[in-house]
Amino acid sequence: MNKKYVASNTRLQLQSGSTSGPGLVCSTSGPRPAQWNFPSAMITRKVGAALAAGCTVVVKPAEDTPLSALALAELADQAGIPAGVFNVVPCSREKTPSVGEVLCTDPLVAKISFTGSTATGKVLLKLAADTVKKASMELGGHAPFIVFDSADVDKAVGGAMASKFRNSGQTCVCSNRFLVQSGIHDRFVEKLGRAMDAELRLGHGSEPDTTQGPLINARAAEKVVHQISDAVSRGATVLKGGRRRDGSFMEPTLLTDVTTDMLCTREETFGPLLPVIRFDSEDEALAIANASNVGLAGYLYSQDTSQIWRVAEALEVGMVGVNEALLSAAEGAFGGVKQSGLGREGSKCGIEEYLEVKYMCLGGLQV
């Protein structure tokens, strides 16, 4: 068991890994299964910190991507990690709730860590409450992407392309609401449309020119179609895409004339849909950006240093990209505020999630 001491005269503070059993459970059910979008990375950044803290782990992978977890278990065995330290429990979608309940309620489990939907995270927290387990949750996002009049429009367009269409829009930190100030709105939309035509290719992953593959399943495609239909019915204009192809293939879609009463501005999409909202003032942009019960990531493009600091401080999110669209890094503290979760992964903060603090006051020693 790893220990960390902080000493001041004869008073010691100790941080130690759990010794009471498995220190990590990854469990999921519900509308957005955990870990399937980056199945190996989502597991390793949890498991790496847990093992470094001296915990054993039980991983319950997403039903859509169990083989990645099993491959990691095989690699762990080849690397010499002892049997019983890294464990994988795959199961069907139908059995996920019951398996998750066992892992979240068993008293031998000291800690749970979950990546997935906010709705499922709430269920797991309730299950863990009876045994007062430590819990870290990386839940839903609804990231705003704000482009101010002072922004470098070409860089903002490049950032929008990277943030929205990476992994076909299936990332928890991808931008979901694009707020563009009136002074550059039309220029931004025009250049973005040209970039989509030039750079995005929908097709099979084995084809070298493909940049956009299918969504994870039919339900994901149906959600995007529903959001597009709702937006159009409320006055939005489809400038690019808008159609579902065979299976779960969804055309990258650009919407304008978007308003805040549309579904695509009120709930996470998890697909290649880019809705653009026009705004006039900084205060208006912040009001729209913060009008959400989740707060994982946010992005802003501006060349005004004072504005950058004001807006970055005011955004109610756990991570902010300033003139940068890809903000995940091993040294960065990954996590959100509001109903986007609890705790952090990565950076020095990540291992703290798997440590307990014990304060010891020593006296009576003859030295």
CA atoms of 282 and 113, how far apart (whole Å): 36
Res 64: pLDDT: 86
Class of domain 3-139+340-361: alpha beta
What is the sign of the dihedral through the CA atoms of 18, 21, 26 and 29? negative
> What's 200's DSSP letter?
-
CA atoms of 2 and 249, how far apart (whole Å): 47
- Domain borders along the chain are 3-139+340-361, 143-322
pTM score of the predicted model: 0.89
Selection from 21, 50, 138 nearest residue 354 by Cα: 50
**Rg for the chain (alpha carbons), in Å?**
22
Residues catalogued as catalytic: 138, 172
Residues in the chain: 367
Percent of the chain exceeding pLDDT 90 equals: 81
Q: 3-139+340-361 with 143-322: one CATH topology?
A: no
Residue 8, pLDDT above cutoff 50: no
Give me the DSSP letters along 92-145.
-TTTHHHHHHHHHH-TT--EEEEES-HHHHHHHHHHHHTTT-EEEEE----EEE
- Displacement of CA 194 from its chain's centroid (Å): 28
Cβ(209)–Cβ(203) under 8 Å?
Answer: yes
pLDDT band at 36; cut points 50, 70, 90? confident
Selection from 300, 268, 46 nearest residue 151 by Cα: 300
C-beta neighbour count of 205 within 10 angstroms: 8
Domain 143-322 classified CATH 3.40.309.10?
yes
> What's 65's DSSP letter?
-
Selection from 334, 328, 282 nearest residue 308 by Cα: 282
Lowest mean pLDDT segment, chosen from 8-17, 172-181, 245-254: 8-17
Instruction: Determine which helix (DSSP H) or strand (DSSP E) holds 27, and give its type and residue range.
Output: none
Residue 53, pLDDT above cutoff 80: yes
- Tell me the residue type at 154: D
Range 63-76 average pLDDT: 93
Res 37: pLDDT: 84
Beta strands in the chain (DSSP E): 3-8, 11-17, 22-26, 56-59, 86-88, 111-115, 134-138, 143-147, 175-181, 237-240, 253-256, 273-279, 294-295, 297-301, 319-322, 337-338, 341-342, 355-361
Res 58: pLDDT: 94
Residue in the structure block whose two tokens are 């159609």: 243
Residues 242-275 pLDDT 10s: 999 999 999 999 999 999 999 999 999 999 999 9
CA atoms of 295 and 286, how far apart (whole Å): 13
Res 34: pLDDT: 54
Residues 193-233 pLDDT 10s: 999 999 999 999 899 999 999 999 999 999 999 999 999 99
Buried b (16+ CB within 10 A) or exposed e, 135-160: bbbbbbbbbbbbbbbebebeebbbbb
More confident residue, 234 or 16: 234
Residues 301-335 pLDDT 10s: 999 999 999 999 999 999 999 999 999 998 999 99
Q: What torsion, rounded to 10 degrees, do the Cα atoms 107, 110, 114, 118 define?
A: 70
Res 35: pLDDT: 59
Res 334: pLDDT: 95
CA atoms of 53 and 46, how far apart (whole Å): 11
Cβ(290)–Cβ(255) under 8 Å?
Answer: no
More confident residue, 167 or 4: 167
pLDDT band at 63; cut points 50, 70, 90? confident
